[in-house]
């Protein structure tokens, strides 16, 4: 029994030492930046960022055509996607208001295409109350 406990403690210490060195193999290599867990947010770049920009623009246009708010995208500063019940795109974005003023806000788009009004957009802007709006998913043919 003592031998088994001793062996487990040695293995645990070896694992901790390897992780502290940055690599599961203990070779000193830093782990890749993209390592996250299943369902963890993932930073978007390249073509994925372009698609996220199109998703954001489409949702903003849908809201502007209805009861608002009316914003346009000036610049996306960062964007992530996370698989949840559906997908959750989170943006830090510079928005342009109808009067031309700009502001930086966090915008989250939670897409659940199987639900009526399954697109939920949440705006978090400094010194303003949180705004949550929904709209239907557009059919893609």
Q: Convert the pLDDT of each residue in 6-22 to its tens digit.
A: 555 655 555 555 444 44
Residue 74: the pLDDT is: 92
Residue 104: the pLDDT is: 95
42-135 fold: Nuclear Transport Factor 2; Chain: A, (3.10.450)
Whole-angstrom Cα distance, residue 82 to residue 9? 36
Q: Is pLDDT at 23 greater than 50 in this prediction? A: no
Q: In what order do the strands lie in the sheet with 119-124?
A: 42-43, 72-84, 86-96, 102-111, 119-124, 131-135
User: Average pLDDT in the 70-97 region?
Assistant: 90
Per-domain boundaries in the chain: 1-31, 42-135
pLDDT band at 24 (very low <50, low <70, confident <90, very high): very low
Q: Is pLDDT at 32 greater than 70 in this prediction? A: no
């Amino acid at each position: 029994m003592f031998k088994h406990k001793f062996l487990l403690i040695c293995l645990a210490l070896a694992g901790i030492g390897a992780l502290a060195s940055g690599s599961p193999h203990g070779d000193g290599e830093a782990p890749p930046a993209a390592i996250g867990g299943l369902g963890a947010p993932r930073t978007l770049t390249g073509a994925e960022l372009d698609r996220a920009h199109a998703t954001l623009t489409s949702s903003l246009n849908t809201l502007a055509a209805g009861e608002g708010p009316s914003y346009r995208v000036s610049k996306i500063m960062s964007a992530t996607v996370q698989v949840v019940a559906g997908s959750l795109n989170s943006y830090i974005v510079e928005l342009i208001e109808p009067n031309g003023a700009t502001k930086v806000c966090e915008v989250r788009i939670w897409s659940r295409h199987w639900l009526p009004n399954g697109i939920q957009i949440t705006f978090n802007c400094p010194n303003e109350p949180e705004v949550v709006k929904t709209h239907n998913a557009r059919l893609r043919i």
